[in-house]
């Protein structure tokens, strides 16, 4: 234990995701030794991010205005919505430059063991958006793990009566790996999602 | 430094640091174990989907000072895909995992019967031959029985007078006769107690033939019975989708 404010700093840092007590202590002492200008800049950014950044009223992505940059962009295809768990997933998909539609950020995945059900995610907001007949296709891009799959299954069944084209991102073998290291589930999915080679 | 090998079912995973997860497992010989799956969140992890909930794996674990570490994992059976394919199966299956975790109170205390029951229950659930809600209730009744909380659906739970009896009392342990009947007893339909007895003994012919009303009353009693024996409620139980 350290005295007063130093311990407070370690405690606060330790509450951040992925930061254990050891790392918290390391970061705290780094900050203590750092140039005051650098620390002030960090404080400024932290305050600004809480003041300025909010969540897009349409898609739930992080935004600096009422709507995020993507939802405001008139060049984006309004007929397709890609559903993801988190804002970081939007960033990941944007980097591919493959997708020109808009997003819907759920805020997580359905996880009954953690007490997270459909009502705790932005599912109702999604249904409201889909009721608008501009949308014709829904891409389910939740994580390729158990909770992501279950969430996709749930959403697919929920929107079925709306008659949309519903697709799920293909999952399978990681590019750059060896086939022999793939586990059965991954390999099985890769078989399901195989595509025609056009030569 | 010591290594051990065992088979187990993945009950729960929690994010740890950048790319790791803490994996909670119910093993055949070591009871409930928590071990780190290093790098499992990376899409190129050598573990792939092997350390996902509902997977039955053969494991090699390194015993660490604070947390154990999974060194190798081979799939023995993977039920996750079949279970996540259907929301009713997924929510029922999650309750099975959470119950198995809660009924094995101590880490490292062997619970082989609970382990075997869980493997059997998940296999039945994934096969989809019976309604997920029935598979769940059968699992819960048997799992409580293994934990020492067997319910009686025939003889009076208080005086042991042979049944059938028209009353049911959760704290007393099941069916109770008209003389013993403590206050707060309910009087479920005869068919409901027959269903629960069938689920406990694995009589699927009787269980599959039950009607929706009987099943509803049955799972209400099972839920009440389960909650009574667990200190705090299960998070997943209110989310079960029953059809
Ligand atoms: Zn937006």
Structurally, at CATH architecture level, domain B2-78 sits in Beta Barrel (2.40)
For the B81-239 domain, the top CATH level (class) is mainly alpha
pLDDT confidence tier of residue A193, bands split at 50, 70 and 90: confident
Within 8 A by CB and 6+ apart from B210, the residues are B134, B191, B195, B198, B218
In the predicted model, what is the mean pLDDT of residues A31-53? 92
Residue-wise pLDDT tens digits, A169-188:
888 777 777 788 788 888 88
**ipTM at complex level:** 0.89
**Do the beta carbons of residue A53 and residue A64 sit within 8 Å?**
yes
Pick the range with the lowest mean pLDDT from A86-90, A123-127, B25-29, B230-234. B230-234
Beta strands in chain A (DSSP E): 54-55, 62-63, 80-84, 102-105, 137-140, 165-168
What percentage of chain A carries pLDDT values higher than 70?
A: 99
Q: Cα–Cα distances in Å, from B195 out to B88, B114, B136, B218, B240?
A: 20, 22, 13, 7, 19
CA dist., res. A52 & res. B85, Å (int):
40
Tokens describing residue B165 = 């009896």
pLDDT exceeds cutoff 80 at A19: yes
Pick the range with the lowest mean pLDDT from A17-26, A45-54, A107-116, B102-111. A17-26
In this prediction, residue B46 carries a pLDDT of: 86
Share the mean pLDDT of chain A. Answer: 91
A184 to chain B, any CB pair closer than 8 A? The answer is: yes
Residue-wise pLDDT tens digits, B155-188:
999 999 998 999 999 999 999 999 999 999 999 9
pLDDT exceeds cutoff 90 at B231: no
A36 to chain B, any CB pair closer than 8 A? The answer is: no
Q: Which residues does chain A have within 8 Å of residue B43's beta carbon, measured at their own beta carbons?
A: 144, 174
Share the mean pLDDT of chain B. Answer: 94
pTM, two decimal places: 0.88
In this prediction, residue B1 carries a pLDDT of: 62
pLDDT confidence tier of residue A133, bands split at 50, 70 and 90: confident
**Do the beta carbons of residue A17 and residue B15 sit within 8 Å?**
yes
Residue-wise pLDDT tens digits, B8-62:
999 999 988 888 999 999 999 999 999 999 999 887 888 988 999 999 999 999 9
Is A113's CB within 8 Å of B12's CB? yes
Burial class (CB in 10 A: 0-12, 13-18, 19+), B213: exposed
Q: Which residues does chain A have within 8 Å of residue B242's beta carbon, measured at their own beta carbons?
A: none
Is B87's CB within 8 Å of A181's CB? no
Is B15's CB within 8 Å of A17's CB? yes
C-alpha closest to that of A68 among A98, A97, A42, A94: A94
In the predicted model, what is the mean pLDDT of residues B131-143? 98
**Do the beta carbons of residue B168 and residue B174 sit within 8 Å?**
yes
Domains observed in chain A: 4-52 (1.10.8.420), 73-168 (3.40.1360.10)
pLDDT confidence tier of residue B67, bands split at 50, 70 and 90: confident
- Whether the domain at B2-78 and the domain at B81-239 fall into the same CATH topology: no
- The nearest alpha carbon in chain A to B90 belongs to A150
| Closest Cα in chain B, distance from residue A23 (Å) | 11
Pairing relationship of beta strands B167-169 and A54-55 according to DSSP bridges = unpaired
Tokens describing residue A179 = 């086939």
- Tell me which of A89, A112, A140 to substitute to probe the interface with B (most B C-beta atoms closer than 10 Å): A112
| Domain boundaries along the sequence of chain B | 2-78, 81-239
Query: Which has the higher per-residue pLDDT, B45 or A129?
Result: A129
In this prediction, residue A190 carries a pLDDT of: 83
Strand order in the sheet with A165-168: A102-105, A80-84, A137-140, A165-168
pLDDT confidence tier of residue B69, bands split at 50, 70 and 90: very high
In the predicted model, what is the mean pLDDT of residues A34-39? 94
In this prediction, residue A76 carries a pLDDT of: 97
| Closest Cα in chain A, distance from residue B206 (Å) | 30
Q: Which residues does chain B have within 8 Å of residue A159's beta carbon, measured at their own beta carbons?
A: none
């Amino acid at each position: 234990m350290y005295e007063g404010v130093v311990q407070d700093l370690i405690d606060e840092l330790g509450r951040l995701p992925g930061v254990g007590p050891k790392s918290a202590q390391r970061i705290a002492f780094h900050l203590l030794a750092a140039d005051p200008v650098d620390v002030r800049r960090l404080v400024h950014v932290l305050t600004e991010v809480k003041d300025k950044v909010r969540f897009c009223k349409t898609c739930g992505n992080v935004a600096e205005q009422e709507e995020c940059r993507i939802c405001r962009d008139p060049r984006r295809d309004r007929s397709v919505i890609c559903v993801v768990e988190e804002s970081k997933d939007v960033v990941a998909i944007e980097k591919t430059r493959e997708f020109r539609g808009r997003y819907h950020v759920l805020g997580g995945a359905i996880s009954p063991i953690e007490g997270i059900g459909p009502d705790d995610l932005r599912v109702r907001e999604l249904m409201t958006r889909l009721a608008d007949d501009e949308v014709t296709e829904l891409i389910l891009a939740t994580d390729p793990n158990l909770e992501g799959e279950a969430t996709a299954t749930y959403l697919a069944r929920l929107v079925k009566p709306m008659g949309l084209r519903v697709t799920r991102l293909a999952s399978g073998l990681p590019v750059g790996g060896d086939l022999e290291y793939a586990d059965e589930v991954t390999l099985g999915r890769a078989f399901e999602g195989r595509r025609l080679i056009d030569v | 430094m010591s290594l051990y090998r065992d088979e187990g079912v993945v009950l729960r995973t929690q994010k740890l640091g950048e790319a790791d997860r803490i994996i909670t497992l119910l093993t055949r010989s070591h009871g409930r174990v928590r071990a780190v799956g290093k790098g499992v969140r990376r899409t190129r992890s050598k573990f792939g989907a092997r350390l996902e909930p509902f997977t039955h794996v053969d494991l090699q674990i390194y015993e660490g000072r604070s947390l154990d570490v999974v060194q190798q994992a081979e799939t023995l059976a993977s039920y996750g895909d079949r279970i996540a394919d259907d929301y009713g199966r997924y929510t029922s299956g999650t309750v099975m995992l959470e119950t198995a975790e809660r009924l094995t109170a101590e880490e490292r205390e062997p619970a082989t019967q609970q382990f075997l029951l869980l493997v059997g229950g998940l296999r039945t659930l994934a096969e989809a031959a019976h309604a997920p809600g029935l598979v769940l209730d059968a699992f819960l009744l048997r799992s409580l029985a293994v934990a020492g909380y067997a319910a009686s659906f025939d003889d009076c739970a208080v005086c042991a007078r042979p049944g059938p009896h028209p009353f049911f009392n959760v704290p007393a342990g099941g069916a109770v006769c008209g003389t013993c009947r403590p206050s707060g007893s309910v009087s479920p339909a005869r068919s409901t107690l027959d269903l629960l007895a069938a689920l406990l003994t694995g009589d699927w012919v009787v269980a599959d033939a039950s009607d929706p009303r009987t099943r509803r009353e049955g799972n209400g009693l099972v839920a009440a019975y389960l909650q009574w024996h667990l200190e705090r409620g299960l998070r997943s139980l209110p989310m079960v989708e029953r059809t």
